[in-house]
Chain A
């Protein structure tokens, strides 16, 4: 087996597991009755999507040389910069994911506080019970 085949295979396994993760977390988000489990599923879903965004900025291996992170580690000369641009992965999805992680965290924090309010109001976090109580 050559390296290219293994590489393609592993990338497809990563993609498949990301999609499976997304499906399972959507299932948890809709069908799990407990509020905390819904929040956990939402967190897993957002993390999956962030990983997917980073994956979109990835590069293939060229002749067994793996892509490198978008950090220039040597002195900036013409040669090192051209080598860097030839091998570094896309930094833009990583920057956007950094923003998305912070906003996701803010949303999670808000949901946790909302859960506190729900619990003090209804004395339960089971969504079936809360639906029945109405108001």
Chain B
């Protein structure tokens, strides 16, 4: 009886949704025009004739993420940081015993073929991640995506070489926490960079200001020697990349250590 009730419930859900879909087809199909707000973002993301509104970045998404709605992203970064701290606090009893002994090329890890391929591809992955992160204001991508790409490297090395290798090379969760804090401090300082410059030269400037605005002429340069950096966007992407890569490395190290040692399972 219970099975039949469940079946009827699921079937009626599907039928109801399909009726809704038919009704929504006229509303939910995308139109020819975008919303007025989107039009504003697209029109001013790089526009030499609207110097008071533009971000000087051809990538509208990064412009929204770090300039128009930069405060959102700052707090989103802090949410990620707090979740990581919560994870560390939850895992505190699970990896009390750090793995002992030193790394041995012969006995630890996978075969020589896998190790050699990993050695060859690791710099390439780092280069791709850095390119995604540091070109975030020009092409799709940004600090978060670049950092997530770079964080693949420690994961691959843990799987291929073992955690001992990473610890022998000095990649410990404490050092990564320091690196992550440096990234977060960089994000914090970049967000008040224009304000600090304004304080130093005695002009009015806003917190989270990027380009010069009417009434607050202090701003960061849009390009350095002809290379577009879009003011604060490049620095935000750089520090976010460092913070995210270090944060993911902490998570991987703890998750892959947690199974051993402590009172946990195998």
Contact = CB atoms under 8 A, between A and B. Distances in A.
A130 to B, nearest CB: 15
Summarize A's interface: helix, strand, loop or mixed.
helix
Contacts of A12: 21, 25, 29
A15 B28 contact: yes
Contact of B46 (A8, A72, A107, A110): A72
A116 B21 contact: no
Interface in A83-131: 84-85, 88-92, 94-95, 98-99, 102-103, 105-107, 109-110, 112-114, 116-117, 119-120, 123
B91 A113 contact: yes
A36 interface: no
A57 B64 CA distance: 14
Nearest to B139: A71
B30 A60 contact: yes
A19 B31 CA distance: 20
Given A59-B30, A91-B64, A70 B90 contact: no
Nearest to B68: A95
B144 interface: yes
Interface string B4-44: 00000010011001100100110011111111011101110
Bin chain B's interface residue count.
35 or more
Contact of A85 (B13, B43, B91, B251): B43
A76 B13 CA distance: 49
A23 B14 contact: yes
Contacts of A78: 49
A35 interface: no
A90 B80 CA distance: 26
Contact of A98 (B21, B35, B142, B264): B142
A134 to B, nearest CB: 21
Contact of A90 (B38, B77, B93, B139): B38
B84 interface: yes
A88 B93 CA distance: 51
Contacts of B31: 59-60
Given A60-B31, A91-B60, A91-B61, A99 B73 contact: yes
A89 to B, nearest CB: 7
B42 A88 contact: yes
B237 interface: no
A24 to B, nearest CB: 10
Q: Which 7 pairs across A and B sit closest by C-beta, in order of nearness? A: A106-B83, A91-B60, A70-B60, A95-B64, A90-B38, A72-B58, A113-B87
17 contacts: A8-B29, A11-B30, A16-B21, A55-B30, A59-B34, A60-B30, A70-B45, A70-B61, A71-B61, A76-B46, A92-B35, A98-B65, A99-B73, A103-B79, A105-B80, A113-B87, A116-B94
Given A60-B31, A72-B58, 9 more contacts: A23-B13, A71-B58, A71-B61, A72-B45, A73-B58, A76-B48, A88-B42, A98-B65, A112-B255
